[in-house]
Structure 1
Amino acid sequence: MLLNTAEAARLLSTDEKTVVRWVRKERLPATPVDGELRINRIDLLEWATDRGIKVLPEAYAGMEDEPGLFPSLSSALETGGIHCGVPGDDKLTALRNVVALLPLPPQMDPDFVLQVLLAREALGTTAIGDGIAIPHMRNPILLQVPASSITLCHLASPVDFGALDGKPVQFLFTLVSPTVKAHLHLLSRLAHALRDPRLREALKRPCDPAGIRAAVAEIERSLGG
């Protein structure tokens, strides 16, 4: 579904001038149609979630799917795993080592997955600040995986991801999802959890998988699942 700037502004609780500025300066994806900007709803949701910008609930209308499609953060982390001391001196090397740890089907080419992640980074860094990045597939369905997962990698040494706050990245939350709907669900939940001080405190400690899982579970209980 394509939105005009007025519709996008309403869903983001802002004004059209701000939306146009985001398109021009903040990489909000938009396409000129008959002389006016049009924004894909999926692009809007992904862009806003990446930046922690709240979106009106009606933006998700019609995106529900069959029960069980959307896993909890805890189950997605359990599937993807938490890995400490992952090596990598630069973005390319770090992402290559991250891909090696993803729960991918045996027939899937890791080099293809790496190229998909790099293509997403080329559109704009997935670093969200404070040493955290959320690498993910621009089009999740390309991977055709059976289930969603979040793989958390704690890098042995921080790596420059071009974050807006200038801080190098040490935590990579890599999302892999079978559908766009599942992807947006997990991305939104993860963005919310990463704003919660309980998870932030767990990440500040030396790599502590049990503490991270406990913090995520506590946050999900407070949200009602």
Structure 2
Amino acid sequence: MNLKIADITEILNVSEKTIYRWIKSGKIPAYKINGQYRFSEEEINRWISENKMVNRKKEIEDEEPINLPDLLGKGGFYEVEGDDVKEVIENMVGIIKLPVNLKKDKLIEELIKREEMISTGIGNGIAVPHPQEKVIEEIEDERVFVCFLKKPIDYNALDGKKIHTLFLILSARKERHIELLAKISFLSRNKEFLDMLELQSKEKIIEFIRLKKVEWDEIMERRKKI
């Protein structure tokens, strides 16, 4: 039993929180000795080998499903000042509440890096900034922030329109990010929703998305039965 929690986090490149969750659920072989968890190197190597064969689809199905209204509740609504993309990103990250282990400087760097590649302006006055590289590991740290710009700015959006609202996405998995982006893109084409954004009606925005979530969930249930 020569491996400790710190060794496992380094070997598997996951957080301690994830390791403890796996131990609690019995997913990973561990032993509690004198109040501390220890691992057998041989068992861990075998566990890694076996888990390489796990079907990724099954892992995704076991994860907590995307709940956009809840993620908006964790992120919140803000008003942001700024005259250009860089200034808006810096001001936005300066005021939003981030997960404990995520540094503001790191997030700013990744967001700007993403915008330098290609604009996240998706049209109709909306942009969906997100980090170039993954900055969170845990699904419980995921959140979506809605930031109303005090002054619309040129964001190099595809349709050439100035951006008035940002949906900042923090997601733990590529698949989950894609799903969130698809949902926000869908909403951005709905005139009723766009009107709510223009009015910055937070309660109506949340309620509208909750209703849409019911529709999305019903569609997913029908697809499962096909």
Provide the TM-score with structure 1 as the length reference: 0.65
Structure 1: tracts of 5 or more residues without a match: 1-60
- Residue 72 of structure 1: which of 67, 75, 81 is its match? 67
Instruction: Please report the RMSD computed on the Cα atoms of aligned residues, expressed in angstroms.
Output: 2.1
> Relative to total residues, which structure has the larger helix share, 1 or 2?
2
Partner of 1:58: none
1:216 matched to 2:216: no
Taking the aligned partners of 1:135 and 1:196, their CA distance within structure 2 comes to 20
Q: Which amino acid aligns with 2:210?
A: A
> Are the aligned partners of 2:136 and 2:142 in contact in 1 as well (CA < 8 Å)?
no
Highest relative contact order (Cα 8 Å, sep 6+), 1 or 2? 1
3-state SS of 1:170 partner: strand
Answer with 66-75 or 151-160: which moved more: 66-75
1:98 matched to 2:92: yes
| Compared CA separation, residues 216 and 129, structure 1 to 2 (3 A) | same
Q: Over residues 111-168 of structure 1, what are the superposed CA-to-partner deviations in whole Å (9 max), with x where a residue is unaligned?
A: 111010011111100001121100012332x333542211000011111111132221
Provide the TM-score with structure 2 as the length reference: 0.65
Taking the aligned partners of 1:199 and 1:222, their CA distance within structure 2 comes to 15
Taking the aligned partners of 1:220 and 1:197, their CA distance within structure 2 comes to 17
TM superposition shift of 1:94:
0.7
Partner of 2:120: 126
| Compared CA separation, residues 159 and 200, structure 1 to 2 (3 A) | same
> Are the aligned partners of 1:148 and 1:177 in contact in 2 as well (CA < 8 Å)?
yes
> Are the aligned partners of 1:71 and 1:148 in contact in 2 as well (CA < 8 Å)?
no
Map residues 40-59 of structure 1 onto 2, 5 A cutoff: none
Q: Which amino acid aligns with 1:208?
A: S
User: Which protein shows a greater Rg?
Assistant: 2
> Are the aligned partners of 2:71 and 2:143 in contact in 1 as well (CA < 8 Å)?
yes
> Are the aligned partners of 2:122 and 2:185 in contact in 1 as well (CA < 8 Å)?
no
> Are the aligned partners of 2:142 and 2:172 in contact in 1 as well (CA < 8 Å)?
yes
| Compared CA separation, residues 79 and 203, structure 1 to 2 (3 A) | same
Q: Over residues 18-43 of structure 1, what are the superposed CA-to-partner deviations in whole Å (9 max), with x where a residue is unaligned?
A: xxxxxxxxxxxxxxxxxxxxxxxxxx
> Are the aligned partners of 1:98 and 1:153 in contact in 2 as well (CA < 8 Å)?
yes
Partner of 1:183: 177
Partner of 1:198: 192
| Compared CA separation, residues 62 and 165, structure 1 to 2 (3 A) | same
Taking the aligned partners of 2:161 and 2:88, their CA distance within structure 1 comes to 16
> Are the aligned partners of 1:133 and 1:172 in contact in 2 as well (CA < 8 Å)?
yes
Q: Over residues 157-190 of structure 1, what are the superposed CA-to-partner deviations in whole Å (9 max), with x where a residue is unaligned?
A: 1111111322211100000011212212211222
3-state SS of 2:185 partner: helix
Taking the aligned partners of 1:101 and 1:63, their CA distance within structure 2 comes to 38
Residue identity (%) = 27
Taking the aligned partners of 1:63 and 1:193, their CA distance within structure 2 comes to 28
Map residues 10-159 of structure 1 onto 2, 5 A cutoff: 62=57, 65-83=60-78, 85-140=79-134, 142-145=135-138, 146-159=140-153
**Structure 1 segments of 4+ aligned residues over 6 angstroms from their partners:** none
> Are the aligned partners of 1:70 and 1:185 in contact in 2 as well (CA < 8 Å)?
no
3-state SS of 1:152 partner: strand
3-state SS of 1:62 partner: helix
